[in-house]
Amino acid sequence: MNEVVIIGGGFAGLRAARALAGRAVEVTLVDRSNHHLFQPLLYQVATAALSPADIAYPIRAALRSQDNARVLLGEVTAVDLEQRRLTLLDGAQLRYDFLVVAVGMKNDYFGREERWATHALGLKTLDEALEIRRRVLLAFEAAEREPDADKRRRLLSFIVIGGGPTGVEVAGALSELAANILAEDFRRLRAAKPHVLLVERGERLLSGGFDPRLSARARTQLEELGVEVRTSTEVLDIDERGVRVSSGLLEAANVFWTAGVKGRSLAQRLGVPLDRGGRVIVRPDCSLEGHPEVFVIGDIAHLVPAGSERPLPGLAPVAIQQGGFVARQIVRRLAGEPPEAFRYVDKGIMATVGRSRAVAQTGRLRLSGLIAWLAWLVVHIAYLIGFRNRSSVLFNWTWSYLTFKRGARLITGERSWARLAEYGVASPPLEAPTESSGAAPPGSLG
């Protein structure tokens, strides 16, 4: 029986595996994580709106009822296209008759990874989302203990670099979290005004396919939430103090990066042509030139549709459609039928800005505000995998909308309190309890 190996359990890889259910092939899905991640909602984990389990689903559970599929936890480090063999990090090897590469993208700091990645955390994985959540919450904890007003102002300043959908969503969610929720949780900070700054090098936000009118509307909605937006602003440097631009230093204790992505290193190991962003250039049927048995799909694929001058964007609908398409091509190939050309059915694009605020477009239809936000909710609930995930997210969103509260405000990790030292306030002077306060003396159990 023919062996189909799929690298990556994201939207594209998981869809391809599921579409091969019941076919006369053996499917092996390899991923570095044991879960499928719903990346469009990753920012909500980072801003304490959802817990990790709400947007992640075990890959094995997703394929449990598929008799011809198995899942391997591992990382592919080498691909031998001539011998049709993969090598994993632990030295194990896999043979394939058909290979589907769907490894996605990673953060791109434009050649400044060693310096900038340390001070500006990206948002592509659950670990990064949890670290962002930890840093935001720790900043408020540190500000609560900080007696100096200037230092406290810096601790409550957050900079988001990149004005694409992710940057807009992170900035809006951060502003709502900081101003409406966290500021109420900390007594000394109730009069403080947390500051969120969104920096974009281009002339407008959401420049990747959005109507300019919606870009302007998204900016207006962000500013209504209190976010400061700076377009046509290039980042020159990032360090522990904040972000340096042409006008000077923008101070902030936390900087988050959503400005660029590039292909993972596995794409380079294929030894095939790549575009400037490290994506693999594929044929109209998503296969590699000279290797029709190898398909590359999802964000990592550079495919220019017929009649277009631009490659397909890195969106979940593109990945999902390509996953089903490639599964069909494998079946056609086994039946001796000729390949087809992939045709993307554009279902539109959208971005949420905050509570009851969003922008969306599909065809000639343009939506903004509450109706766009409701459409965004419906679409994202529909795409989530697993009934439990859908129910949990729907409940959390409803509860948050009605109460203006978020329940995932947890600082996780061993000795997390000790990380306050990163903000320079490990042992600041605290107000000593007075006799009339009823406070127990040091060392007392009360």
| Residue 391 confidence class, pLDDT cut points 50, 70, 90 | confident
Among residues of the chain, what percentage have pLDDT more than 70? 91
Extract the tokens encoding 412: 């996780």
- Judge if 245 and 215 occupy the same domain: yes
**Mean pLDDT of all residues in 199-216:** 95
Extract the tokens encoding 361: 């477009």
How do beta strands 242-245 and 248-251 pair? antiparallel
Structurally, the chain folds into a number of domains equal to 2
Distance between CA atoms of residues 294 and 100, nearest Å: 6
385 lies in some domain: no
- Judge if 268 and 239 occupy the same domain: no
Angle between helices 165-176 and 212-224 (to 10 degrees): 20
Instruction: Give yes or no for residue 185 having a pLDDT over 90.
Output: no
Distance between CA atoms of residues 87 and 82, nearest Å: 13
417 lies in some domain: no
Least confident range from 188-192, 318-322, 384-388: namely 384-388
Across 10-24, 139-153, 258-272, the highest mean pLDDT is recorded for 10-24
90 lies in some domain: yes
Distance between CA atoms of residues 222 and 228, nearest Å: 8
**Mean pLDDT of all residues in 256-261:** 94
Least confident range from 6-15, 268-277, 333-342, 422-431: namely 422-431
Identify the domain boundary among 334, 363, 380: 334
267 lies in some domain: yes
DSSP string, 402-425: HHS--S-----STTGGGGGGGGT-
Look-up: residue for tokens 């998204």? 218
Give the CA count within 13 Å in the CB-facing half-sphere of 157. Answer: 17
Catalytic residue set: 169
Higher pLDDT, 394 or 146: 146
Instruction: Give yes or no for residue 445 having a pLDDT over 90.
Output: no
- Judge if 207 and 118 occupy the same domain: yes
250 lies in some domain: yes
264-282 pLDDT, tens per residue? Answer: 999 999 999 999 999 999 9
Identify the domain boundary among 334, 365, 396: 334
Instruction: Give yes or no for residue 166 having a pLDDT over 70.
Output: yes
Distance between CA atoms of residues 319 and 211, nearest Å: 23
- Judge if 25 and 141 occupy the same domain: no
413 lies in some domain: no
- Judge if 144 and 212 occupy the same domain: yes
Higher pLDDT, 416 or 287: 287
Average pLDDT of the chain, as a whole number: 89
402 lies in some domain: no
**Mean pLDDT of all residues in 375-379:** 91
Burial 168-195 (b: 16+ CB within 10 A, else e): bbbbbbbbbbbbbbbbeeeeebeebebb
Q: What is the pLDDT of residue 446?
A: 33
**Mean pLDDT of all residues in 99-113:** 94
Torsion of CA 387, 393, 399, 403, to 10 degrees: 180
Q: Determine the residue type at 254.
A: N
- Judge if 198 and 270 occupy the same domain: no
- Judge if 102 and 187 occupy the same domain: no
Least confident range from 261-270, 358-367, 390-399: namely 390-399
Model confidence pTM above 0.75: yes
- Judge if 14 and 89 occupy the same domain: yes
Identify the domain boundary among 236, 259, 282: 259
Extract the tokens encoding 210: 């959005």
Q: What is the pLDDT of residue 394?
A: 79
- Judge if 255 and 267 occupy the same domain: no
**Mean pLDDT of all residues in 163-172:** 96
- Judge if 295 and 307 occupy the same domain: yes
- Judge if 153 and 228 occupy the same domain: yes
- Judge if 224 and 293 occupy the same domain: no
Least confident range from 112-116, 288-292, 296-300: namely 112-116
327 lies in some domain: yes
- Look up the CATH number of the domain holding residue 301: 3.50.50.60
Using CB atoms within 10 A of its CB, is residue 116 exposed (0-12), middle (13-18) or buried (19+)? buried
Instruction: Give yes or no for residue 444 having a pLDDT over 90.
Output: no
C-beta separation of 425 from 150 below 8 A: no
Instruction: Give yes or no for residue 43 having a pLDDT over 70.
Output: yes
Angstrom distances, CA of residue 201 to CA of 69, 137, 197, 209, 364: 45, 28, 13, 16, 28
Instruction: Give yes or no for residue 92 having a pLDDT over 70.
Output: yes
302-344 pLDDT, tens per residue? Answer: 999 988 889 999 999 999 999 999 999 999 999 999 999 999 9
Instruction: Give yes or no for residue 68 having a pLDDT over 60.
Output: yes
Domain that holds residue 208: 113-259
C-beta separation of 199 from 160 below 8 A: yes
At residue 201's C-alpha, the angle toward residues 47 and 316, to 5°, is 50
